[in-house]
Every structure is written in C-alpha cells, then in structure tokens.
Amino acid sequence: MKTLSKLSVSLVLSGFIIGCSQEAPSPDLSQPKLVRFANSLDISAPEVNSDLVKSMNVIISEMSQTIHLPLNLNANIKAFDPQFSIESGVSISPQGPQDFSQGPVDYVFTKGQRAKTYRVFAQTVNNPIVEGYYADPEIIYSERDDKYYLYPTSDGFHGWSGTYFETFSSPDLVNWTKEGTILDLKKDVSWANRNAWAPSGIEKKINGEYKYFYYFTAAQKIGVAVADNPQGPFVDSGEPLIDFKPDGVKGGQEIDPDVFTDPVSGKSYLYWGNGYLAVAELNDDMTSIDKSTVQVMTPDATFREGVEVFFRNGTYYFLWSEDDTRSPNYRVRYATSDSPMGSLTISEDNLVIAKDEAKEIFATGHNSVINKAGTGEWFIVYHRFNRPNGLFMGGDAGFHREVCIDKLAFDADGKIIRVEPTLAGISQD
C-alpha cells in the first residue's frame, strides 16, 4: 500500500458525495475498518461492536455527524443496540436497544462539559451476502444436499495474491454459513502456489453417486479438483487442465473457468479465457478435455473475462465482464445461442448490470447465475467494490471486493432485463 502525503476522502451521505482532504497516511485496508475522523471536541467517531452490523459497510461522517449502520437480516430494528465502543470518560445517551423502524435515532456523546450528537440510521440489508472480502462468485445448487454453495475468490490480498479458496452454504440464497477452506494451493496443489482466482464448480451424478468437480485458476493456469462433498475437501488432479493458448490466440490469460452441463445433450463443457473466450468438451471423467473440440468463440471487443453460461427455455445465455476489475465501470454483458458452442447472437442493448452512482455501487461484474430450485426465479451473483471504502481506494478497490445477489428477470422474448444493483439484496419470502 502506498503512503500518500494527502488523503482525499469521499463520504456517502444519504446519496450525496462530499469530498474532503486531510493530512494522513493511507489506511491499511487489508482488514475491515470503519471510516473514522477526529473532531474538535476530541470525541472520536464511535466504533460499533454489535455482531449484527455489517462492519465493513458502516458509513461515519464527521461533517454531517451521521452514522449509517447496515444490519444483518436477523437484526431487530425495533429493538436494536449498536453497542458503540467509547473511550474512557465518554458517556452516551440513549443506552440499550432503540427503535430504528421509524427513522434515525440521535445519540449524544458527552465528555466533561463537551457534547456531540450523531444522527444514527440503521437498516437491514443483505448485500453483501457474506462478511469479508470475496470476489468472482460461482454458485451451484446441490440436489443431494438441497443447498446452494458459493465458491468465490478469497479477496483482500494486494495484487490478487490470495492462495486459498473457501466456500459458503445456504438453504435459501439468503442465509449463508462459512464452510471453511476447501483448497489451499500451498498445501494441496503441486503445480502452482499463487494467484488463487475465479473458481467454478458442478455436481455430477456418476454411477449412482454424487461427485463434485472444482475448476480453479492458479498461477494463470486452470486446474481441477474432485470431492465427495460440495464443501470439500477437494483433491487436486495433480496437473493443470488448461495451460495452453488455443490456436490463433496470442494474448490474454488462461483464467476464469466456467463449467456447464447441457441439459439437452448431457454433455459437459469448460469455458475459459481473459482477452478471449474458448470452449472445449469435457471428457466423461470431468478432469480432462477433448482437445479436438477446442474452439475460440470470443463474442466481441467488449469481452474481457469471467464467462458464465446457463440454459433457459431453449436458449443458451453467455454472460461476460467488460473493462478491468479495478475500474468502477466493470460490468456485465451477454449474448445468446441455440448451441453451447455458438454461434453467438448479440442484441443491441445487451448490458446486464452496471454501476449505480447514486447508490455508490461500483464495478458490478464477474457474475454467476442461479435458478432457484423448483421455481421460475433467477438470480445474479456478482462482486462490487467495497462500499464505502472503494470510493477512495483507487486501484486497490479491484482486490477489495464483496459479493452481492440480486434478482435476474427476462422479458417475454427471453431478453435479459437490465439489473439495477441494490443495497438491500434479496430477502427470505
């Protein structure tokens, strides 16, 4: 992290951006921290201790003396206690649980004869869906477990230098439980020990038993690991699956795998690529490809990376990310096809999701898509810059990302209706 002589800060205040600057070193963003600033009364902006608060997303403004608290869905806003952390000699009023359902509550912090009031807003939200820095989310539904599993990149490491993968499980796409580390490059992979990125996974029933295949990026190559359970542990195959460029491709990287089983033919395919999009049929063992089927199918010049393929009502959808993940303009576009190997049809208005400046949501990209089991509901899972710290991280925002989920809808012709990213996310019906 660079040390800056002057730190420019933008604070989010009910949809408005206010800029200020002060002499300070740049903050250590490797761990979640609150935005804090000293004030003339020597009463520091209070930290929040409650485990019901999404601490990475708290917004504190000394300028307007406001605090915005995003709460987990199981918080009771009619009787919520922020549990502010205050220094010795400072008193606070009111104390104990307060009713935030009717609007903000004013808290007075007093030190001797001096006092300062913060207007505190609290609201339950579900984006991001898991605590911590994560990116490149893949999501699958396990028929065996009747659960959803989230496979993200472990983020928060400078230069995308993470070396392990974790997973989360959910019965309803709303409530998530961390299952722990499922693959550690330094311990479990012999051919690479760096840059653990952008995994993809799938459940397959083979000879009457469920198996789980996990395709992952490591050292700009693609590997595959196998497990008997979706939460691992996964055992690496022992060598990279994709460590070559397809014929005709000169640039880009061999990263960002996506696995897809065609419900029509039953065949499974692996897609990958940064700067180009390639596809190959997977062999029956799911750990090797038929190299004679490798094909380049880059949609257009907007394609950067992060392909996602799914099937709905006879149509194959291909989604990809445009721009750089460090850019606020990172976003998702799509094409359709009548075959899992193309050709692709790109509509004039093919934007799926993009930033929302009014909500201070930026860099909405590298997504996966899931159909809620037994329903006609579809959802898009994607990452965004951390909010609000992404506003002043610069390029570092590109590896301090968080995972969100919103509804995905289609019009009568099957075209994707552009998704408006939300702060609230989805809730349990």
Q: Which residues are catalytic?
A: 136, 305
Burial grade of 359 (CB within 10 A; 0-12, 13-18, 19 or more): middle
φ, ψ dihedrals at 399, nearest 5°: -130, 25
The dihedral built from the CA positions of residue 118, 123, 129 and 130, taken in this order, carries a sign that is positive
Closest CA to 128 of 381, 390, 429, 372: 381
Written as one letter, the residue type at 23 is E
Cα–Cα distance, 32 to 191 (Å, whole number):
32
Specify whether the CB–CB gap between 272 and 221 falls below 8 A.
Answer: no
φ, ψ dihedrals at 185, nearest 5°: -55, -40
Pairing between strand 16-22 and 7-13? antiparallel
Q: Write the CB contacts of 386 (distance below 8 Å, at least 6 apart in sequence).
A: 56, 57, 133, 393, 397, 400, 401, 402
Buried b (16+ CB within 10 A) or exposed e, 2-11: eeeeeeebeb
Q: In Å, what is the CA distance from 169 to each residue of 137, 204, 375?
A: 13, 18, 19
Q: Write the CB contacts of 62 (distance below 8 Å, at least 6 apart in sequence).
A: 37, 38, 39, 45
Closest CA to 403 of 389, 418, 387: 387
Burial grade of 164 (CB within 10 A; 0-12, 13-18, 19 or more): middle
CB atoms within 10 A of CB 279: 24
Cα–Cα distance, 60 to 35 (Å, whole number):
6
